[in-house]
């Protein structure tokens, strides 16, 4: 897609990858840039940092509420007549294992998976083959591989990957294009706050950090490049494709390697 002069929604725009995508899209003179998040202070700061002249619309949105997502998408269509790109990027990590409380599993599912389900439903209510919309789902390398230390995150990110693939197959002819963003480590509060925390959250964040962090702006550049190519799978860390291929070829060997990595990292002193 041509990124210039588009009508774009970014969720999770108050921080990290979402804020960096907003900055990157602002370079393309968007017609309207809708920045959505539950964190209104962060949103206001990101909105204020946009280049002069950018049409920015900061909106408080909890992506786990279908009515809110639907209202936002309807409002954008009413105001702009189209919605070219919806970045379903808001996400949460837990640092928890399989024994996490059900409420933690449900909350993670509702943000990391249902947030994109609701976005897809809302876009499909408007999309036609002549007036297409693109949904960019931010999953994670954890959705193609796994995330050591965070069971709800790994499971829900696999769900996000499956959803994106399913939508790309079933709804292309209805006017919905889909892209899937699967970064590995990106230096954002999700990782840095995790590192600063004591306990299991620090283990999961430490694993991500040990694999090497890229800056949010580099992730946003990879997104812009992938979107310009109409690519389905966008991998800011290209090595993730090799890991995914190795995992698919020989899952037993993959799991043995991941066990060794987990043992090594668990034995390391806390960051």
Considering beta carbons, is residue 3 or 20 the nearer one to ligand NAD?
20
Considering beta carbons, is residue 3 or 35 the nearer one to ligand NAD?
35
**Per CB under 6 A, 183 contacts ligand NAD:** yes
CB of 193 to ligand NAD, least distance (A): 7
Q: Among the candidate windows 7-15, 51-59, 71-79, 119-127, which touches ligand NAD by CB under 6 A?
A: 7-15
**Per CB under 6 A, 90 contacts ligand NAD:** yes
Sign for the pseudo-dihedral over CA of 66, 25, 21, 56: negative
What residues numbered 208-237 form the site for ligand NAD, per CB under 6 A? 208
Q: Which of 23, 89, 154, 179 binds ligand NAD (CB under 6 A)?
A: 89
**Per CB under 6 A, 18 contacts ligand NAD:** yes
Considering beta carbons, is residue 7 or 113 the nearer one to ligand NAD?
113
**Size of interface with ligand NAD, in residues (CB under 6 A):** 30
**Per CB under 6 A, 14 contacts ligand NAD:** yes
Q: Which of 23, 94, 140, 179 binds ligand NAD (CB under 6 A)?
A: 140
**Per CB under 6 A, 12 contacts ligand NAD:** yes
Q: Which of 3, 10, 59, 111 binds ligand NAD (CB under 6 A)?
A: 111
Q: Which of 34, 117, 191, 233 binds ligand NAD (CB under 6 A)?
A: 191
Provide DSSP, the chain. ---TT-EEEEESTTSHHHHHHHHHHHTT--SEEEEEES-HHHHHHHHHTSPTT--EEEEE--TT-HHHHHHHHHHHHHHHS---EEEE---------TTS-HHHHHHHHIIIIIHHHHHHHHHHTT--SSS-EEEEEE--GGGTS--TT-HHHHHHHHHHHHHHHHHHHHSGGGTEEEEEE--SEE-SHHHHHHHHS-SHHHHHHHHHHHT-EEPHHHHHHHHHHHHHTT-SEE-SSTHHHHHHHHHHH-HHHHHHHHHHHHHHHHHSPP-
What residues numbered 33-72 form the site for ligand NAD, per CB under 6 A? 37-39, 42, 61-64
Residues ≥6 apart with Cβ < 8 Å to 108? 92, 94, 152, 153, 156
> To 10 degrees, what angle do helices 251-267 and 239-249 make?
120
Considering beta carbons, is residue 29 or 261 the nearer one to ligand NAD?
261
CB of 190 to ligand NAD, least distance (A): 3
Where does this chain bind ligand NAD (CB under 6 A)?
11-12, 14-18, 37-39, 42, 61-64, 89-92, 111, 138, 140, 183, 185-186, 188-191, 208
């Amino acid at each position: 897609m041509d990124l210039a002069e588009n009508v774009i929604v970014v969720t999770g725009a108050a921080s990290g990858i979402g804020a960096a995508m907003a900055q990157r899209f602002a370079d393309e003179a968007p017609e309207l840039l809708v920045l959505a998040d539950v964190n209104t202070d962060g949103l206001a700061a990101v909105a204020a940092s946009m280049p002069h002249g950018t049409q920015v619309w900061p909106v408080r949105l909890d992506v786990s509420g279908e009515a809110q997502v639907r209202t936002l998408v309807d409002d954008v269509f009413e105001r702009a007549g189209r919605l070219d790109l919806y970045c379903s990027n808001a996400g949460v990590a837990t640092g928890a294992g399989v024994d996490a409380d059900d409420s933690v599993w449900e909350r993670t599912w509702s943000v990391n998976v249902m947030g994109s389900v609701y976005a897809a439903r809302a876009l499909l209510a408007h999309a036609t083959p002549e007036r297409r919309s693109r949904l960019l789902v931010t999953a994670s390398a954890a959705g193609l591989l796994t995330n050591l230390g965070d069971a709800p995150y790994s499971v829900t990110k696999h769900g996000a990957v499956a959803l994106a693939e399913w939508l790309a197959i079933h709804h292309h002819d209805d006017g919905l294009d889909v892209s899937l963003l699967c970064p590995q480590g990106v230096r954002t509060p999700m990782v840095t706050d995790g590192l600063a925390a004591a306990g299991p959250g620090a283990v999961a964040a430490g694993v991500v950090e040990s694999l090497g962090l890229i800056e949010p702006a580099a992730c946003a550049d990879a997104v812009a490049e992938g979107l310009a190519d109409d690519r389905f799978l966008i991998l800011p860390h290209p090595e993730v494709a090799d890991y995914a291929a190795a995992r698919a070829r020989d899952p037993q060997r993959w799991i043995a390697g991941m066990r060794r990595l987990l043992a090594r990292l668990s034995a390391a002193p806390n960051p």
